């Protein structure tokens, strides 16, 4: 006769682990020590006193699935994140532009134009200081247009050019810059033996400065050696 505290063994139908129970646990509920499956302790069909112990395996109908506690719903991930705070724009920040890339591009363009630009060498000529116009007590000065070494260019208050030299009977009007260049070269070539070497520019006080500069350029183009400038208040 078997006692209530006698032990017998049976196997877990889920993982095959050998489990031990007492006769008073038959019909009760236990848990597998290996897979933690909830089992109903089976009733042994026979039990021998021999050294070889017999085990009764549970059928799948006797297996009671362990009811695990319902999982506690986790808080939403979004709810755990700190709310994003958008700072208000300060006054004056609207429309602010970063000018650093624009400055870099400007410097690159400047270097490009400096490298690729062709520099033109401007001719220069030393202009002597005006001489004293006071009359000499020894002799009367000769008129500029009577000196065969001079080319005379007059500019009136209306910015009109007049070109003259000792070889011509009277001055010639040059209504345009192209005509001025042509007349100055003609005055230079008027004396092939001894061409005039000095250009005298007599400009009215009310004429434009650019007209004076054009007259100087015409003399340099003709190949004069020196240039003299004079101003006057009277029209020719």
pLDDT in tens, 1-57: 555 566 778 788 888 788 887 877 887 888 888 888 887 888 776 555 443 444 344
**Mean pLDDT, to the nearest integer, of 59-82?**
43
User: Contact at 8 Å (CB) between 79 and 69?
Assistant: no
Q: Which fold would CATH assign to domain 144-232?
A: Nucleotidyltransferase; domain 5 (3.30.420)
Residue 85: band (very low, low, confident or very high) from pLDDT cuts 50, 70, 90:
low
User: Can you spell out the DSSP letters for 161-173?
Assistant: EEEEETTSSS-EE
Residue 171 above 70 pLDDT?
yes
Domain ranges within the chain, ordered by starting residue? 7-62, 144-232
Residue 113 has which token pair? 């134009």
Q: Are 69 and 46 in contact (CB under 8 A)?
A: no
DSSP letter string, 28-69: SEEE-TTT--EEEPPPPS----SSS---EEPPGGGB----PP
- What confidence tens digit (pLDDT) does each residue in 118-149 have? 766 665 555 556 555 555 444 445 566 678 88
């Amino acid at each position: 006769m078997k006692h209530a505290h006698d032990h017998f063994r049976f196997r877990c139908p889920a993982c095959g682990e050998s489990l031990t129970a007492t006769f008073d646990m038959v019909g009760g509920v236990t848990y597998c020590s290996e897979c933690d499956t909830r089992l109903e302790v089976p009733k042994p069909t026979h039990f021998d006193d021999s050294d070889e112990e017999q085990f009764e395996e549970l059928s799948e109908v006797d297996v009671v699935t362990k009811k695990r506690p319902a999982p506690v719903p986790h808080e939403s991930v979004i709810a755990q994140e700190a709310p994003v705070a958008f700072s208000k724009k300060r006054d004056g920040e609207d429309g602010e532009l970063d000018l650093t890339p624009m400055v870099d591009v400007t410097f690159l363009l400047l270097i490009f134009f400096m490298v690729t630009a062709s520099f033109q060498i401007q001719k220069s000529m030393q202009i002597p200081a005006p001489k004293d116009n006071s009359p000499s007590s020894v002799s009367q000065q000769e008129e500029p247009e009577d000196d065969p070494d001079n080319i005379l260019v007059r500019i009136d208050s209306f910015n009109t050019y007049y070109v003259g030299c000792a070889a011509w009977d009277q001055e010639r009007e040059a209504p345009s810059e192209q005509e001025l260049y042509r007349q100055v070269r003609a005055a230079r070539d008027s004396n092939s033996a001894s061409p005039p070497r000095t250009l005298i520019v007599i400009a009215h006080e009310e004429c434009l400065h650019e007209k004076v500069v054009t007259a100087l350029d015409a003399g340099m183009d003709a190949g004069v050696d020196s240039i003299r400038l004079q101003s006057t208040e009277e029209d020719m």
